[in-house]
Structure 1
Amino acid sequence: MSHVPHELADEFPNAAEKIHELKLSNAHFAKIADAYHEVNREIHRIEAEIETPSDAYAEELKKKRLALKDEVASFLNP
């Protein structure tokens, strides 16, 4: 299990500038990026054993993060 956070800039290293631009120019994208960041941080706290929720909840968060990542990707690769 990785204890490294999966930041959007790390997930899409070639699109860091575009992500920044979209956050500033597209309110919907900014909302998705913020939601991804919050879910990602919570998963990171779980993986670092700072928080200890149920396995089912942790898996639900990972699925939510993946769905948000897919939505971000749809903006980056229209």
Structure 2
Amino acid sequence: MTHVPHELHDEFPEAGEALHRLKIENAHFAKLADEYHEVNREIHRIEADVEAASDERAEALKKRRLVLKDEIAGILRAAV
């Protein structure tokens, strides 16, 4: 499998332990992380031409990924 850009551990390399802990201890965070991964993988499939999508769909997914990343970053900041 190719490397999927924008994985959470790549986006927040300094927060590996916190990512793991929050996924286990915080159901809301775990749900956000799962959705982030799903959206990110869909974007990767589109960019790799494995899955077809309109430009509007691709942009909507990228915007959703950014919203999720921002919320995840906020939770990580609060957890430190």
* TM-score between both structures, scaled by the size of structure 1: 0.93
Runs of 4+ in 1 over 6 A off after TM superposition: none
SS at match of 1:77: helix
What's 1:10 paired with? Answer: 10
- Following superposition, the deviation at residue 5 of structure 1 comes to 2.2
Superposition CA RMSD, Å: 1.1
* TM-score between both structures, scaled by the size of structure 2: 0.91
CA contact (8 A) 2:4 2:41 kept: no
Query: Which blocks of at least 5 consecutive residues in structure 2 are unaligned?
Result: none
What's 1:57 paired with? Answer: 57
What's 1:72 paired with? Answer: 72
Instruction: Give the aligned length.
Output: 76
Query: Which blocks of at least 5 consecutive residues in structure 1 are unaligned?
Result: none
What's 2:36 paired with? Answer: 36
Identity of aligned residues (%): 68
**Separation of aligned partners in 1, 2:4 and 2:34:** 18
What's 2:19 paired with? Answer: 19
SS at match of 1:57: helix
